[in-house]
Amino acid sequence: MSSLDGASDGSHASGGDPSRQRIAELERQVAEQQRTIDALRKACVWNIDSRDVRESLFQLIDSSSDFIGIADMEGHAYYVNEAGRNMVGLGSIEEAQRTLVSNYFDPADLPYVYETILPEVMRSGRWEGEFSFRHMMTGAKIPVHYSLFLAKNAKDEAIGLATITRDLRSMKRVEEERQRLQEEIIRMQALALAEMSTPLIPISDRAVVMPLIGTVDEARAKQVLETLLKGVTERSAAIAILDVTGVSVADRAVANALVEAARAVRLLGAQVVLTGIRPQVARALVDLGLGLEGLVVRGTLQSGIAFAMGRG
């Protein structure tokens, strides 16, 4: 053997001094032991003095709120911590060890696992991103932040797969609630803008006025009708003035909206007064054959208010 050959050469070199041979042998043994210790440390094999540290490490893993698990390269679980078992509905470590890693995923997601995630782990040693686990009891998908990486031995050889996975359900619920609140805020803002764009102003106990400014599209025409009917009903108004002096676009849509609003208000028993009608609107009313029977028309808002106050 070469080691023995080396010792023989050393013996001749030292002139056969037994003490020097013994020192050389001890140095060789110490060096060999150090290499063994280093290898054990790299392989996470702990000596008896490290038992407390090892126990603390396992307590730390088990107290984590994240899913922490280790499996062999064939997909058999070595270990899944308590948080991980609770996340996917497994009762014990033995049950987790009997469950193949593939069962942790929804069947529809397995092609992505095999075609994308695992090849990337084997290529680069790691894959990380949002994914889904499957609850073993209900089959429900669990949104997670999935981090999968290779577990290696001291020789840098892959011996298994390890994961630290975070449950995203709480975060998703918070995001959904935030989205719901944002949509509610947008809805309330839209209502506020609609109310501002279709204000209903009481001018007496028996009369209200709605001055319209800007454009009147289909959505706004609907809002005009709803606001007018609601206001007339709630206030028991006898007269409702629709002033279109400030309407920037006067076309058939505006004319039709005005007549529909007027007819609806008349069904509630109230008198409608149209003010500020431009020539374009008047022409549109004629072209559409929309009669103004039963409606009061005044040229200005002032004259319409005068009529409503009994001075017209």
Residue-wise pLDDT for 145-188, tens only, equals 999 999 888 888 888 999 999 999 999 999 999 999 988 888 88
The mean pLDDT of the chain is 80
Q: What is the pLDDT of residues 122-132, one digit of tens each?
A: 999 999 999 99
Look up residue 105 and give its DSSP letter. S
Q: Go through the chain and tell me how many residues it has.
A: 312
What are the angstrom distances between the C-alpha of 295 and each of 142, 203, 291? Answer: 63, 19, 9
User: Under DSSP, is residue 301 helix (H, G, I), strand (E, B) or coil?
Assistant: helix
Neighbouring CB atoms inside 10 A of 100's CB total 11
116 backbone dihedrals φ, ψ, rounded to 5°: -125, -55
- Low-confidence spans in the chain with pLDDT less than 70: 1-16, 18-19, 22-23, 25-54, 190-198, 249-250, 288-294, 311-312
